[in-house]
Structure 1
């Protein structure tokens, strides 16, 4: 968890706060006026994290791309997997972009507390970390379906086994 003392203030315009957050973690990122894209090395793969700010609506959309492309012949199985995985989520959802076959995690936050349209450090951390956590948690499920020959149900059961202790 980052310390609010590392920032000039505990809230900022959404893209500004995310830029501060990514910089504090030492992640590479590129920024435009209403969008920021960062790279994060997870346990399974490198993720692209993208945030898009829609000021008129007060909505910050956050996308996590786990570097998974789905071939046409595997899409039916992945759509079924997405349905099962999304039942497990409290916030956000996975989807498959039909034109490109790219799998992603998406969620959005309404940001308009009393009209100031700022994002707090706690909100930024929740937004980013929840996307990363869900991508990390379910990455093996999609890999089991795509490359391991498992059914979506078996892949989900295999990937979500709780382990005891550490190796």
Structure 2
């Protein structure tokens, strides 16, 4: 997370502008095109592609995180079951599996109040980005246990959510 001294916390900006500033402040590679931005960040498990699309007419910011997991057709039933168990644990956002490609992703939609200028604050931006990354980091092992570890979705979830002390 950014330190307050690194960024003016009172600043608000259009959603894509704010995300672009946030990504740049972290030194994350990113590309912007009109009302869409794509960034990459290295997590503990994999590199995540983050994509945000803003639809001003609807006042909605779609925020997607792709944890570089493709699910083969023969494993999709188990992954769909795991998705159901995982999504029960989430307060905001959800994981989904695109049926046409087998791509796994995390998705969150944020309503942007047009009456307030249609801007996002640093706090909103930080919460959106960091919570998405945190959820992907938290549940990535579940998908790996189901896909490659031979565990049932219930076993995978139980194994992945064990609290550990410290780091190895």
Structure 1 and Structure 2 fold alike (TM over 0.5): yes
1: CA distance, partners of 2:9 / 2:123: 14
Kept in 1, the 8 Å contact 2:16–2:54? The answer is yes
Mean alpha-carbon deviation: is it higher for 127-136 or for 110-119?
110-119
TM-score computed with the length of structure 2 as normaliser: 0.95
1: CA distance, partners of 2:15 / 2:145: 36
Q: CA RMSD in A?
A: 1.5
**Counterparts in 2 of 1:7 and 1:32: CA distance versus 1, 3 Å:** farther
Kept in 2, the 8 Å contact 1:49–1:62? The answer is yes
In structure 2, the residue matched to 1:96 is 97
What are the within-5 Å matches in structure 2 for residues 14-163 of structure 1? 14-112=15-113, 114-163=115-164
User: Which consecutive unaligned segments of at least 5 residues does structure 1 have?
Assistant: none
Shift of 1:4: 6.6
**1:78-127, CA deviations, whole angstroms, 9 ceiling, x for partnerless residues?**
00000000000001000000111000000011111534100100000000
Kept in 1, the 8 Å contact 2:9–2:121? The answer is no
Count of equivalent residues: 167
2: CA distance, partners of 1:9 / 1:162: 36
User: Which consecutive unaligned segments of at least 5 residues does structure 2 have?
Assistant: none
Q: Aligned with 2:101: secondary structure?
A: coil
